[in-house]
Chain A
């Protein structure tokens, strides 16, 4: 069967689900897998095209970590499996096999550890950083947004909105370094970097949380303003409800729901942010592994961590879209 027939068969299968929720999920899942496979293919192709390798780079950096003989052995193994003497397609199929069986072998820089264990240990670190920062952002951002909405067009509202707009513009790495300068170097309250102690969480989470705080404030404010203008809120006031009852029972609940759509993708964005944050604070998470692997040309680790992070984020964003459809039935009938 040629590619054309395959495509047609898949197309028929997709169409047979029609415009249902299952059809939507299956279509999106197929899309995610396809994009991951294409990106993976491009990566292998780029590795082929790129000049220099891991040893050249480490030599250039004047940095030799660990045992060079073992590293060369590992590189030899990698060459055997994915080497430049093999066509990209062969490497690619081999890698897909490794991915499916979750068996990537050792990395160049850390020849004594397999990539599976690095992902297993590093991913929970990055993921908990991302989740925590979004949670913190919600706890700070949502009350501020509600306050701004209830005190609309006062100085409080304007300060919140302007600060939020500004906060959204500061990249996480600038915040991270600024916090380091302020909290560790000047005030000496926190260690500049490191991992393992509860205090090590504070700065990374704060640095990541600023941008989502800003987004949540703005979104919460608009959502709250829209809800407060709804007719059922007017009815609740007319029934003589106290401000606590009207705002707490009716307005708050209905304006919190759409917030899920904003916060879900933020977890993915934060996961990407860990690439910088973990590098700056020397956190042994998957984001930092990916960053160093890419600069070092530690190909096995680079591809595996890229695929793992990208798959997680893509699937998480898919879950957000699905939950949005469940919450808002109007979207269900719109094509795709």
Chain B
């Protein structure tokens, strides 16, 4: 895999992307190990005047909220939920978009035309509004969240897949395989998919913060996962309600959430450069 080693070397030269990559790995590890790391359970309430609305301390690293729940523990679980939801949504959009895009690109002709005109129209549609409707009809569970996130991002996947398939389709070894009688499925999985891996990794890296924004954007309106399951959006909204007296309840979640989004985006950008997909300018 000389190509991938090259990509890694190029990535490691980009200091910002490297730092973000390490940070993203840490975020993933922390959220995977959340039950072992967090000092308290996410819904563990400590009632009483000495426990609620506490400022940051050694006992509660980021303070506590109105019910005396540890903010740090709740944020770690929010991160975990945000990751699960955005990964689930990305997977879903990969299934829908990948399938439609690959089909359009591989079939070409009228099928391609119809599918791509369809994606044009869906692309112009404000999908976040549709996500809100989905949640209001299907309830606030995790599967609905996957759908809400997936519904907003499959079009990009479809376009990417189609472009990749078309660019690979004309290559000689693919024509050779076809002339030897390989099936469409075989060609797509064996020749086309491995070639699209790089751009796909970049798209997935970018779609994770996108999914997190949708998830928290829903929960800040009161349409995310059902409380007490923590989500950045709900915690930020609760913090906003208390911002006059207890600003730390707004600042900690907002900053952590923003840093998380930035880390993923900068990593995606670095990966894009390393895979030299960035043809605009430098």
Contact = CB atoms under 8 A, between A and B. Distances in A.
Interface in B99-142: 113, 116-118, 120-126, 128-130, 132-139
23 contacts: A28-B117, A45-B137, A46-B138, A50-B138, A169-B265, A171-B213, A171-B257, A173-B236, A174-B257, A177-B236, A181-B243, A181-B250, A268-B126, A275-B221, A280-B240, A291-B132, A295-B223, A297-B136, A302-B133, A302-B136, A306-B133, A310-B125, A313-B125
B216 A28 contact: no
B150 interface: no
B121 A34 contact: yes
A290 B280 CA distance: 39
A221 B223 contact: no
Interface in A218-259: 221-222, 225-226
A169 B136 CA distance: 27
A272 B130 CA distance: 11
B91 interface: no
B84 to A, nearest CB: 19
Interface stretch (A35-43, A65-73, A88-96): A35-43
B14 interface: no
A295 B223 CA distance: 7
B129 A276 contact: no
Interface string B214-227: 00110011110000
A194 interface: no
A178 B254 CA distance: 8
A174 B254 contact: yes
Given A42-B133, A276-B221, A279-B221, A185 B244 contact: yes
Given A28-B121, A46-B138, A306 B129 contact: yes
A336 B121 CA distance: 12
Interface residues of A, number: 57
Which A-B residue pairs are the 3 nearest by beta carbons?
A46-B137, A31-B121, A317-B124
Given A46-B134, A297-B136, A170 B258 contact: yes
Interface residues of B, number: 51
B129 A290 contact: yes
Question: Quick one: which of A46, A174, A291 has the most chain B CB within 10 A?
Answer: A174
Given A177-B240, A336-B116, A170 B261 contact: yes
A50 B137 contact: yes
Given A181-B251, A185-B244, A302-B136, A35 B125 contact: yes
A177 B269 CA distance: 27
A46 B123 CA distance: 22
Given A177-B240, A314-B125, A294 B120 contact: no
Contacts of A107: none
Interface of B: 16, 113, 116-118, 120-126, 128-130, 132-139, 209, 213, 216-217, 220-223, 233, 236, 239-240, 243-244, 247, 250-251, 254, 257-258, 261-262, 265-266, 269, 280-282
Contacts, number: 144
Nearest to A293: B136
Contacts of B134: 46
A49 interface: yes
Contacts of A166: 262
A168 interface: yes
Contacts of A290: 129, 132
A226 B282 CA distance: 10
Given A49-B138, A177-B236, A180-B240, A169 B254 contact: no
Nearest to A34: B121
A43 B125 CA distance: 15
Contact of B221 (A45, A46, A178, A291): A291
A32 B117 CA distance: 10
B121 to A, nearest CB: 4
A309 interface: yes
Contact of A173 (B117, B132, B217): B217
